[in-house]
Amino acid sequence: MPYGARERRAAILRLAGSSGLTSVDELSSTFGVTASTIRRDLAQLQAAGRLARTYGGAMPLAHEASLRQRNGEATEAKQAIARWAADQVQPGETVLLDSGSTTTALARELSHRSDLTVVTTAITVLHELAHADLHVECLGGALRQLSQGFVGPLTAAVLERRTFDRAFLGADGVTAEHGICEADLEQTRLKELMAQRADHVYVLVHADKLGQRPFRAHTPLSPHWTLVTDDSVSPTTSAHFHAQGLSVVVA
């Protein structure tokens, strides 16, 4: 099957994440393109901070990108996802927003509303809603500088005493087999608690993150959740999540 440049680069990231070191020759053969095309792909992925170049190939990065770095990625896709998510929120509801660049975009979409309660762990969401005519609550705890969100036992203690109409979760990566991938277990445990306390759960993630497992901490997916992504997702990738029982929405 022929690949467009964006889809091919997303597939390269998936291969690097699952197989480790990836060579130019192997990638050229896999995707049926020239070695120079693959080198351009790798150069762009490296410039975006997604891969590390090696002699003759590339390998996945193991470091966590900051929220500031992620804010510049897939901006149009995140905006489309955020607009769809905002349309799901009904008047009078109480919604929970996770930390992340896409949930921050969702907060921006909700900032003109006046009929909601928004609860969040994210400093960036608070910033977007600081002057909104909404009831806004912050779940405190220990601040993770990279994600600009609160985690830890204080955050969990408040979560266990609240319920929500909808929870919107972010992710560093999502696979059908392992679920939401994050840099540490505190983050994944917090996402599990968020999902347990909400009537409806949405995972907001642009297509380049699907099939990605950059770290080793995971939150398992539930068939009752909805995965919301953008229109660059491939039918094959969507099918993997459908097979796990998830609803997949293309915004």
Provide the pLDDT for residue 17: 61
Q: pLDDT tens-digit profile of 227-241?
A: 999 999 999 999 999
Complete domains list, the chain, with CATH? 5-60 (1.10.10.10), 68-250 (3.40.50.1360)
Which residues, 6 or more positions from 174, have their beta carbon under 8 angstroms from its beta carbon? 180, 181, 203, 205, 209, 210, 211, 212, 221, 227
| pLDDT of res. 189 | 92
User: Is the overall model pTM greater than 0.85, yes or no?
Assistant: no
Q: Which residue has the tokens 């509801």?
A: 93
Percent of the chain with pLDDT over 70: 85
Query: What sign does the CA torsion over 235, 241, 247, 249 have?
Result: negative
CB-based contact 42:25 (threshold 8 Å): no
> Which stretches of the chain score pLDDT less than 50?
62-63, 66
